[in-house]
Amino acid sequence: MTDLIDPIFLTQESVRCQSVTPRDDGALETLGQPLSRMGFQIHRLRFEEDGYDTIDNIFARLGTTGRHLCYMGHTDVVPVGDENDWTHPPFSGTVKDGILYGRGVADMKAANCAFVAAVSRFLDENPDFSESISLLITGDEEGKSVNGTVKVLEWMRTQKQMPDVALVGEPSNTNEMGETIRVGRRGSLNGTLMVKGIQGHSAYPERSDNPIPPLIRLLTALIEEKLDDGTDDFPPSHIVISSIDVGNPAPNVIPAKAEALFNIRFNDHWTSRTLESRLRSILDQVTPNYTMTVWSNAESFVTSDHPWRDLVINSIERISGQKPKPDTGGGTSDARFIAGDCPVIEYGLLNATIHKVNEHASIKDIETLTATYTEILRSYFA
């Protein structure tokens, strides 16, 4: 008989670990200890790479045969800002009036703890369970995402530990539980656009070459371009100009160069490579005298028309009483790193307070999420 784990108490323990990326402060071990007691084999994986923070991660697996379901989460959190702005200390795990407060409660320590508690309930119901459940927990989701999930997945592939399906506990709901699941995410492509000129005095523009007007024309061409009309699962791709800089504080000096930063959230009509090609074709029609550098660590992905998607939707509906809407919005998540290996779905708590002062989740919602994860385990291994 398995000892049942209280998801509220475990979440409080987790929140009290001040695990602001890349610090761990015992957050991984808070999850590792109850998993170890349930019979999971714990692999503590530390990765380091020159120029990036050294990151601790764990991969915990129960069983080695049969169907394999993997939960993916992170214990690292963003900084709290000014602690004086918080009603309750951000790392206290305070519960008041049915609400649990603390940095990382919603994103996503409570989800991690809810899954661990769900596993304890499932194993208590199924003492002869003989298939495979695993957890990939990283300390680098809010950071550079270099020495976290990516490296753990590389290790899992070499160790033949890859799952059949994956569930990510990112906060997916806006107003109430059972509202939304993430079945995919848009890709993200970043870029710099630069035009060089010749510096000079503004009184003698004929002796200079002002790079600002051609940069403006290039940016205008980008933002006026309709990249696509959206797809069955995604809204239209869009570009956002996030910075324009000439490094020039003087009003009477023509600058030597002008630079802009941009970001494009793109759907599955594109890959980062085909999108870059399209951007260059647009810009080349304006002028060849520019330099563009792009980078992307997030391709678009979607889990569509798959039994795993339907199973999660049906499990959520049985617990919450409403059928969740499949969605591909929001930013990027670690789900993108495993999407090429197996179907992946994201479902967690409400995202209304993530990264904000007084981040919190209701006790009721944490219990509902625990019951939902338990139902997903029951349904998948039925």
| Exposed/middle/buried for residue 177 (C-beta within 10 Å: 0-12, 13-18, 19+) | buried
Q: Which residue has the tokens 């060089």?
A: 196
DSSP string, 209-255: B-SHHHHHHHHHHHHH-------SSSPPPEEEEEEEE-----TTEE-
Taking the model in full, what pTM does it have? 0.91
User: Which whole-number Å values give the CA distances from 14 to 54, 76, 129, 280, in the listed order?
Assistant: 21, 10, 27, 47
Tell me which of 13, 76, 299, 375 is the catalytic residue: 76
SS3 282: helix
Residue 358's pLDDT is 97
Question: Domains in the chain, ordered, with CATH?
Answer: 7-185+300-380 (3.40.630.10), 187-298 (3.30.70.360)
Rounded to the nearest 10°, the torsion over CA 319, 185, 168, 140 is -150
Residue 305's pLDDT is 87
Three-class SS of 303-343: CCCCHHHHHHHHHHHHHHCCCCEEECCCCCCCHHHHCCCCC
- Cα–Cα distance, 327 to 304 (Å, whole number): 11
Q: Residue type for 186, please?
A: R
192 bridge partner residues? 261, 293
Residue 154 bears catalytic tag: no
Residue 51's pLDDT is 84
Q: Residue type for 75, please?
A: T
Tell me which of 24, 56, 107, 141 is the catalytic residue: 141
- Cα–Cα distance, 268 to 286 (Å, whole number): 27
- Cα–Cα distance, 12 to 162 (Å, whole number): 31
Burial state string for 11-33 with b = 16 or more CB within 10 A and e = fewer than 16: bbbbbbbbbbbbebbbbbbbbbe
Q: What angle do CA 7, 18, 339 make, to 5 degrees?
A: 65
Distance in angstroms between the alpha carbons of the first and the last residue of the chain: 19
- Cα–Cα distance, 314 to 39 (Å, whole number): 29
Residue 1's pLDDT is 65
pLDDT per residue rounded down to tens, the chain (382 residues): 678 999 999 999 999 999 999 999 999 999 999 999 999 999 999 999 878 899 999 999 999 999 999 999 999 999 999 999 999 999 999 999 999 999 999 999 999 999 999 999 999 999 999 999 999 999 999 988 899 999 999 999 999 999 999 999 999 999 999 999 999 999 999 999 999 999 999 999 999 999 999 999 999 999 999 999 999 999 999 999 999 999 999 999 999 999 999 999 999 999 999 999 999 999 999 999 999 999 998 999 999 889 999 999 999 999 999 999 999 988 889 999 999 999 999 999 999 999 999 999 999 999 999 999 999 999 999 9
Residue 56 bears catalytic tag: no
Which token pair is 248? 């020039």
- Cα–Cα distance, 282 to 280 (Å, whole number): 5
